[in-house]
Amino acid sequence: MERNKEEILRPGERLDDLQLSGYWIIQDPQRFCFGVDAVLLTDFAKVKPGEKVLDLGTGTGVIPILLAGKTAGKTFTGLEIQKESADMAQRSVRYNGLEEKVSIVQGDIKEAAQIFKSASFDVITTNPPYMINEHGLKNTGDARTIARHEVLCSLDDILRESAKLLPESKGRFYMIHKPFRLAEILSKMCEYKIEPKRVQFVHPYVDKEPTMVLIEGMKGGKSRVKVEPPIIMYEKSAVKHEKQRESEEIGQ
């Protein structure tokens, strides 16, 4: 499909190929670009045919767009507080011709239950800021800072609003976060009656500590947690082989 990149891009922006269904995403390297955590979350989340999905803190909309390509969900909504990020997400939706399935709403996560109707989504996903706001903040208005630190919303805000937006039974919540906050996350999920159901750790190498954790919760679910086999991102043997090959080529 021929699409005019020049008309949709603004200064400093680029189009990145999502390698899925011919979809692309508009990003600005000076602001914030999505990482592997967003991809892992969309692989982990389960969306059934006909379900409605909300992504909290959607950034440039990569999670709703990926889920639209990976699942048979009915609609995918992204909520984003930053005007510039929401605008990029909206243009990405138009560029991919997904207006009938994906919508982007500019708004505050802390007011999500007022923006949307109560119990109006079957599934909620979120790739939230990982760091509590005391951790090394310099510029609280910077887009990268907002994406990484709890400047504009907290874990409590996300779970409180999610609990209101999910139905009383079988509404599902999916999050990727850092393992060092796992105890806090599980405790707060239970506090808001989002029962933890699945946990999966992500390790860079098989002998290294996990750097990310994927969590599934169910609104009003029974107390039972399944720990999935870990995801190992890289094989050391493959890295070693590649370095050896490069060394041999240099020596020739």
What is residue 32's predicted lDDT score, i.e. its pLDDT? 84
Q: Which residue's structure tokens are 């021929």?
A: 2
Q: Residue 29 in 3-state DSSP?
A: coil
Q: Is the pLDDT of residue 70 over 70?
A: yes
pLDDT band at 123 (very low <50, low <70, confident <90, very high): very high
Q: Which residue's structure tokens are 């505050």?
A: 108
pLDDT band at 170 (very low <50, low <70, confident <90, very high): confident
> What is the residue extent of each domain of the chain?
5-251
Length of the chain measured in residues: 252
Q: Is the pLDDT of residue 202 over 80?
A: yes
E strand map for the chain: 14-17, 24-27, 52-56, 75-80, 102-106, 123-126, 172-177, 194-203, 212-219, 226-227, 231-232
Say if domain 5-251 classifies as CATH 3.40.50.620.
no
Neighbouring-strand partners of residue 227: 199
Is the pTM value of this prediction over 0.75?
yes
DSSP string, 89-120: HHHHHHHTT-TTTEEEEE--GGGHHHHS-TT-
Pairing verdict, β 172-177 and 102-106? unpaired
8-state DSSP, 25: E
Asked if 73 contacts 65 with a C-beta cutoff of 8 angstroms, the reply is no
Q: Is the pLDDT of residue 29 over 80?
A: yes
What is residue 201's predicted lDDT score, i.e. its pLDDT? 98
User: Is the pLDDT higher at 123 or at 4?
Assistant: 123
User: Is the pLDDT higher at 72 or at 152?
Assistant: 72
Q: Residue 35 in 3-state DSSP?
A: coil
Instruction: State the Cα torsion 89-90-92-96 to the nearest 10°.
Output: 140
**What are phi and psi for residue 184, nearest 5 degrees?**
-65, -45
* CB neighbours of residue 186 within 10 Å: 17
